[in-house]
A and B are shown apart, each in its own frame.
Chain A
Amino acid sequence: MNSVSIKELDLKYQDAHVLKHLNLDIQKGEFLVLLGSSGCGKSTLLNCIAGLLDITAGQIWINDRNVTWEEPKDRGIGMVFQSYALYPQMTVEKNLSFGLKVKGMAKEEIRQRVDRAAKILQIEPLLQRKPSELSGGQRQRVAIGRALVRDVEVFLFDEPLSNLDAKLRADLRVEIKRLHQKLKNTMVYVTHDQVEALTLADRIAIMKDGEIQQLSTPANIYHKPCNLFVAQFIGSPSMNLLEGRIVGENFVYQDYRVHLMGYEFIDQGDHDTSAYLGIRPEHLALEPREGYVQLATATIDILEPMGDETIVWFDFMNRKWSVKVHGDHQLTWGADIDIYLDPKKAHLFSKQSEVRL
């Protein structure tokens, strides 16, 4: 059973085609993250699901009901915004109960629901305060509470953590995950932060220019990116790239060749084509290991020690490359290093279509 279904959704402004023939099915109880850089249409899509934007074509189904023409309040959704959007003149309690009062719900039930939400989010001591007297994290909790009291099937989050500082963001991220495990609601979560996406999501939809590039589990997105854009977008530092050709079992660049032992091609058969070879910084090594092949010798350009690991930057084939090594490595700037690569962990993309091979 699908909780949210988007069918052939199109959104056009005068000359801009913001969302293009979008199709997306979200399972009941699933945590789906819409990930993309700003302007890719992810927030727009969320607003369309919420009914805050009129769509040009297509349908939106929520809980097997066609809600394309329905008002936001009738869609069975709750929404949490980046700027919290709490009503500044109302206390926390009034903020939570406003939607229920508007609906004309009985006082006793309103009180029960507010109490329950406040208990879940641990904001009971704050109920009589105004939003201006709360910290950023507390405000965002109240905003989540406002969605919670509505007792809806689907939660929509629009970059809820982007206005918080790094420490608080990490804390609240865990709490949102805990909340999802407890409530088992369907959650659609928009973010530009890949860490949030990878840690929270059951499935991630990566968007670019109003189209979904890849819809899959975090592990699949990370380890089997379907095209060059997804490969470059996910991972920090981003994936190293090398231009060359595939000839039989080998990847050939200039006069060198890398044997692609163990690489799983999507379609079996002969490959003889121009391609990119991509490799994540943690799948390179500075010393020979089993299954690794030597790639190059280079000079350390920059060292970024992060404590547990160190990122080593070097120039290779006119591109900036990076390799992640253990933090214990004794390295000095300007030293020469050997680079080894694990072909099983490499990624090959057609140069022409940028699709995974």
Chain B
Amino acid sequence: MEQIQLTGPQGPKPKQTSVSRMGVYVFLVSAAIFFCIPLYVMLVTSLKGMPEIRLGELFALPGDPSFAAWVKAWSEACSGVECNGIQTGFWNSVKITIPSVAISIILGSINGYALSFWRFKGSNLLFGLLLFGAFVPFQVVIFPLIIFLREVGLYGSLTGIILIHTIFGMPIMTLLFRNYFASLPDELFKAARVDGANFWQIFFQIMMPLSIPVTVVAVILQTTGIWNDYLLGLIFAGRDNLPMTVQLNNIVATTFGVREYNVNMAATILTAIVPLAIYLLSGKYFVRGIAAGAVKG
């Protein structure tokens, strides 16, 4: 068969890199570099020895990289009179974060499910109140909460701080799950009711398996939020359960003897590594979950 000769534009449109596009890339790359500089400085400083740091060459690579500072930060650094390193704080934070995240997500998802499917009298009012809670600055309610926890005998205990985190996580978790469940077709719920499933059966067998994407988002939000918390941990956790952030501050702020910048940097990176890892590992789901909620919500 004879090939017909075509003239003029044909086939796929050629890709062009315009000047404005280049400008966008240049901006994005420089912004990325700018925000990476502090991390870079922390990393190289933590690998240097004190004599090298005293030279004041902030950006220079370490001449003799060593993890001594990291080991010291983890197991020997002093906060106040104790010198067990930041590991105690790490395990305290783990003990606080895991139950708080789990409980707040379970309660938030039940709330969201009930509020979006089982409309009862006053459910909108309840939701409004919960939403209101999301916007109250928590500093305002700290003092009443201290008194409340003291009265029920939970002040300064692990249970107390977990309770506090659960309460403060409730509004945003409820909002997240309610909006997600509102985006699911109503008919799914009706079908399950005609099938005879009750409140909990519909929740556990139909809705929970469908809410994995939003649960991932919730885990990320809550884990980073609770891990990074400083004030609540300082106030409510009690001396034995101080979270990592509080202990980091104590180590860095200790004004006894020489300031060991490399140890401080290592301790800081160790503290930040959990939320950082979560973002790097699940950032994709995070964006996806937020976007899914936004479009359908």
Contacts and interface: CB of A to CB of B under 8 A. Distances in A.
B210 A88 contact: yes
Interface stretch (A97-105, A191-199, A214-222, A322-330): A97-105
B194 A102 contact: no
A50 interface: yes
B196 A102 contact: yes
A85 B190 contact: yes
A268 interface: no
B187 interface: yes
B216 to A, nearest CB: 16
Interface stretch (B174-182, B201-209, B242-250): B201-209
B295 to A, nearest CB: 18
Nearest to B198: A102
A52 interface: yes
Contacts of A81: 187, 190-191
Contact of A102 (B185, B201, B209): B201
Contacts of B188: 85, 87
Interface in A68-110: 71-73, 77-79, 81-89, 98-99, 102-103
Interface in A39-65: 47, 50, 52
A280 interface: no
B187 A99 contact: no
Contacts of B194: 50, 52, 72-73, 77-79, 99
B193 A146 contact: no
A102 B192 CA distance: 10
Contacts of A98: 192, 195, 197, 205
A73 B190 contact: no
A120 B196 CA distance: 23
A103 B192 CA distance: 12
A158 B190 CA distance: 12
Contacts of B198: 102
Given A89-B209, A98-B205, A102-B201, A82 B187 contact: yes
A85 B210 CA distance: 13
Interface residues of B, number: 17
B190 A103 contact: no
Interface in A123-161: 146, 150, 158
A78 B195 CA distance: 8
Interface residues of B: mostly helix, strand, loop or mixed? helix
Contacts of B201: 102
B155 to A, nearest CB: 43
A103 B197 CA distance: 8
Contacts of B185: 83, 85
Nearest to B212: A89
A52 B190 contact: yes
Contact of B193 (A72, A82, A87): A72
B197 A79 contact: no
Contacts of A52: 190, 193-194
B196 A99 contact: yes
Nearest to B185: A83
Contacts of A150: 195
A88 B207 CA distance: 10
Contact of A99 (B195, B209, B210): B195
B193 A73 contact: yes
Candidate in B191, B194, B197, B198 with the most chain A CB atoms within 10 angstroms: B194
Contacts of B197: 98-99, 102
B268 to A, nearest CB: 42
20 contacts: A47-B190, A50-B190, A52-B194, A72-B190, A72-B194, A73-B196, A78-B194, A81-B190, A83-B187, A84-B187, A85-B188, A87-B191, A87-B206, A89-B209, A98-B192, A98-B205, A99-B194, A99-B196, A102-B198, A150-B195
Given A81-B190, A87-B192, A102-B196, 15 more contacts: A52-B190, A72-B193, A73-B196, A78-B194, A79-B191, A81-B191, A82-B187, A83-B187, A87-B188, A87-B206, A89-B209, A98-B197, A102-B201, A150-B195, A158-B187
Interface of B: 185, 187-188, 190-198, 201, 205-206, 209-210
The 4 A-B pairs at the shortest CB distance, nearest first, are namely: A73-B196, A99-B195, A85-B187, A85-B191
